[in-house]
Each structure stands twice: as structure tokens, then as C-alpha cells.
Structure 1
């Protein structure tokens, strides 16, 4: 995929230089409560009296045009990205660093504006690795923001899929949350109108993926059905080596985690909202 040119060009909507220096300094604040308080103050200063969008460079070699007032993850990316799913991103980076795949395949289900996908591209560039990313985002407005960030970062490694993810092929409509686009949900309708809903293995087929090294899945309530379909109907070669999936805060072991554990995954770490799972090594002839 060759990213389309960004208009107006990236940098046209940057912060004034003094604020940009302050914003960049916030990226070095300690990842503790004090650092969070300071970062929140910096973020407020950066946003005060300014309209969306803003052009920032939250990661090495990565540029983003952000709309922080309508999307919580974009607001976090304005300053202090070190607080955004740090353990999850570190686990994915470690998986990338230790992988022999060429290219490393990352599937981002519920990509939002692409922070996970762009992080993986940034890490691949740092490590000198080849990577292929498929970022799936059904919402038209959010997907346009994703495409703008891909363009700004010249991230030809990322292919964008405009469908939603579900248990089986069908159609869906978007139920929007205008205060936080990250909480948009898909209602599967079955009608002839709306956007496509596809199971994971069909998305892989359409993008010529024969394996998945790592996958992030955050599709607002459809995670269990989508993974159940993959485990039931997908070629085991497509089962990711590492999965990051939303686990919430309430249940000790949510059904989606139980599903993964039953299908040969081991829990690596539970973070504030997510679970990191790794596919257990398959027995070899010497083990049997």
C-alpha cells in the first residue's frame, strides 16, 4: 500500500514551538503517579484554546494528526504515550524482536486511529525488521484518521481493511459514541445495507496472510465471537503466537480468556484492562 499524500501537509497543524518542546519533554516523565499528573497538566496546556486536529510525532519515525476532543486514545497520544498500554506494547515489541518471521505479521483488530499498528512499525524500523500490518477499522471517520496517520508516517507497511470483525460474514451498522470514538460499537444487522462484517480467517484470506505472529483485538464486545470463529473455522496456522485482548477489570477469568486458555494459550500478564496471551509450545515427536 502506498499511503496517499496528507493535506494539508504534516506539520501545518503543529503546536507553537514552546508548547511542542514542553509536549516532547512530557514523553520523558516517569511512568508513575507524579508523572501522570504532570503529563495531564502539559496536555491541558497544549489543548487550551486550540481546535482539532493537531500534528504531533508521538513515536520515533511516526507522525500523527490527532483529534483529541472526540477520542480518548488520541488525547493520550498528544502527550505521555509512555502511559498508553505500555506492558502490552513491550510484549509485542519483545515478540517482534525474537521472531524469525520475515515479514513479521501483525493483525490489529479494532485499529482505531492506528496507535498499535504505528507502534509496531516504529519498532520494526528500530530493530531493522520487515513487518506486514493489517489494520481493521470499520468506522468511516476513524478510518480516515487512521489513513491520515499512515500517510503522515509513510507507513507503507500498513494495509487498512474497512470491514468489521465478527463470528461470521454479514453486514453491520456503526453505533457511534461521539464523545469517545474508541467506544464505537458494531451492531450486526444481517441486512443488505451497511459495511461488511468478516471473520478473522476471511480477513486473512483477502490479505494473503498465511500466518499471524501477533494480534491485538479490541472490538467492543465481539472479541469472544470473533476468536471462537477463528479457533473453530480457521486454519491453526493462522492462530497467533501472541494475542492482546481486552479482559476488563471485573471478572477473574472472563469468558474470552477462558476460550483462549481452552485452545492452547497461556496467560503471560494481565494489565489494567487487557490480557497478554501466548500460544503454548506444541509438543514435538520427542516430547510424546
Structure 2
């Protein structure tokens, strides 16, 4: 368990009452084109010229201090969060509800400010289930926002790892995107002293954090997705091969190499959303994984 504090306390950056009431109305918007237009208008009214941050409830029992001006996913979560990666979150919630794992182990690679990790926390609380979450985020500014959101939500079951992820260990440097922190990326470097980010393969990250089994994983590594998966399949024990993988694929018509790699290792493409692919592990390849579920991954 990880105890965190938030300074200034949550609520200090709350929207004025009328704007908060308007923001909450966005949650009632239908999940269709008309709803999207309504939510977009409400976001603009709530943010206006105010720089933020804004303290809001994003999911039931889960809170966040959002900076919508500099991060696209934080902007999407400010109002109308029902539109934020809806199919992906529903699939993760269904996987949690159907799983016999205790705790359910979720690894969030490229966690950003924690919207996937916090969704699992919210869903687990609603179901009365135990979860163990590892959120991996290398960018120090974004990671500070993630830690603030975990503190605001009392999400002590979420551990945070500050490294980047790829096929093999090494070092790299953060390259910032102009206008969207979610597109910051890690550039590998041969100069370990000049690079401030440690890069690790999935197996080593799990070893360092006491994780011996993964039930679900989200991967959004800005160019390192295939390499991270290649390292997992090549070197990590099969107990670390998740039953459900959500991986960013973009909008191209062709299946990207990361998806084809999963298909080659016994996964099936369950669904392709606007930006992601949902891959499920086949029964034959998951046999050893099922057998390991009586051994929790270090949860309290």
C-alpha cells in the first residue's frame, strides 16, 4: 500500500458552483454525435480562458486534478468522461468482473495521468473486488500529476514506476510534444550519464515491483509498443502474458506490427476501437496463466 498526500488539498482548485453543475450535466449527455457536440461546448464553457488545474470527480469515488490546457486526455476527462476510451474501459471492467483472480492485477504501461488505472480502481470499488495496479510513467511532470490524482482518490493499491518500457534495458531522454503531454516520448541514448530515464523490459519492471502475474495490460508507449511486447514474449514468463491487452494502434487501415506480434503468440483480435486494439489470450496459451491464479501478486 502506498500512502500519498496532495498539496494544496483536493477541492482547492474546484470549479465555481454554476460551472461545476454544468460540468456534471455533461455526464448525462447521450453517447452519440449530438452528445459529443454538447460535451465539447460544456468543456469550452468550463475551461474558458482559465489556465487550471481543475479538481473534479472523473469516475465514481475517483478524483483528479486535471490540466486540460496541456494534455488532451485530461481535457477529455474534464467533462463527458463517458466518451473517454469507452470500449476499452468497458472491456477492462468486464474482465475484472469475470476474473477469478484475487487480486486482479492490471499493468498500465504509459499511464499518463492515470485515467486507466483510476478506472480500474473505481470499477473494483463498485464490485467490491481487490485490485493491484502498477502504473508506469517516465515523464516526471506527468508522473507528478498521476501521483496527485492517486492521492486525491486514496488509491493506495496503485504503485507507480518511473521508468520507460522497451525490449531491452537501457537509458533515454524525454522528448516533449508541443501542446500535448500525452505524446511525450522517450528517445533512447547511448550516453547513460546524459539520459535521465531508465528503460526496462516488462519482465524486469514486474520483477522489481513484485508482480508475478498480469490479468490485463494497457500499452501506450509512443513508438515503443511493439518493442515492449517483443521483449515480453521473448523473455518474460508466460504468467506475465496478460489475458487482455489494450494497445494503441492509431487510425491506419493495416494492423500494426504490435498487433500482429500478439496474434503470432496466441492472441485474438477481439475489437478495434478508434485508436486501440483489444486482444484476448487464447484458451490454450492461457492454461498456465489460469493455474497461477491462486498466487496473488503481492497484494495486501
Fold in common (TM above 0.5): yes
1:38-82 deviation digits (Å, cap 9, x = unpaired): 001100010013222110101100110011000000001110111
Name which of 220, 226, 237 aligns with 2:222: 220
Distance (Å, rounded) in 2 between the aligned partners of 1:38 and 1:51: 22
Report the counterpart of residue 296 of structure 2 in structure 1: none
Distance (Å, rounded) in 1 between the aligned partners of 2:178 and 2:9: 26
Contact 2:57–2:63 at 8 Å: present in 1 too? yes
Question: Alpha carbons of 1:127 and 1:284: their partners in 2 closer, same or farther (altered >3 Å)?
Answer: closer
Shift of 1:184: 0.4
1:111-143 deviation digits (Å, cap 9, x = unpaired): 000000000000000001000000000000000
| 3-state SS in 2 of match to 1:269 | strand
Contact 2:72–2:180 at 8 Å: present in 1 too? yes
Shift of 1:3: 3.3
Contact 2:177–2:184 at 8 Å: present in 1 too? yes
Matched, 1:111 2:111: yes
| 3-state SS in 1 of match to 2:73 | helix
The more displaced of 67-76 and 243-252 is 243-252
Question: Alpha carbons of 1:30 and 1:189: their partners in 2 closer, same or farther (altered >3 Å)?
Answer: same
Report the counterpart of residue 128 of structure 1 in structure 2: 128
Which segments of 5 or more consecutive residues in structure 1 lack a partner in the other structure? none
- 1:103-252 mapped onto 2 (5 Å cutoff): 103-193=103-193, 194-252=196-254
Contact 1:166–1:198 at 8 Å: present in 2 too? yes
Distance (Å, rounded) in 2 between the aligned partners of 1:161 and 1:52: 26
Shift of 1:19: 0.8
Distance (Å, rounded) in 2 between the aligned partners of 1:118 and 1:7: 19
Question: Alpha carbons of 1:266 and 1:20: their partners in 2 closer, same or farther (altered >3 Å)?
Answer: same
Count, aligned residues = 285
Distance (Å, rounded) in 2 between the aligned partners of 1:83 and 1:127: 22
- 1:59-98 mapped onto 2 (5 Å cutoff): 59-98=59-98
Question: Alpha carbons of 1:284 and 1:18: their partners in 2 closer, same or farther (altered >3 Å)?
Answer: closer
Distance (Å, rounded) in 1 between the aligned partners of 2:68 and 2:47: 8
| 3-state SS in 2 of match to 1:282 | coil
| 3-state SS in 2 of match to 1:27 | helix
Question: Alpha carbons of 1:247 and 1:283: their partners in 2 closer, same or farther (altered >3 Å)?
Answer: closer
Contact 2:266–2:282 at 8 Å: present in 1 too? yes
Shift of 1:283: 7.1
| 3-state SS in 1 of match to 2:172 | strand
Shift of 1:4: 2.0
Contact 1:3–1:147 at 8 Å: present in 2 too? no
Contact 2:266–2:285 at 8 Å: present in 1 too? no
Shift of 1:2: 2.6
1:144-175 deviation digits (Å, cap 9, x = unpaired): 00000000000001000000001111111000
- TM-score normalised by structure 1 residue count: 0.97
Shift of 1:273: 0.7
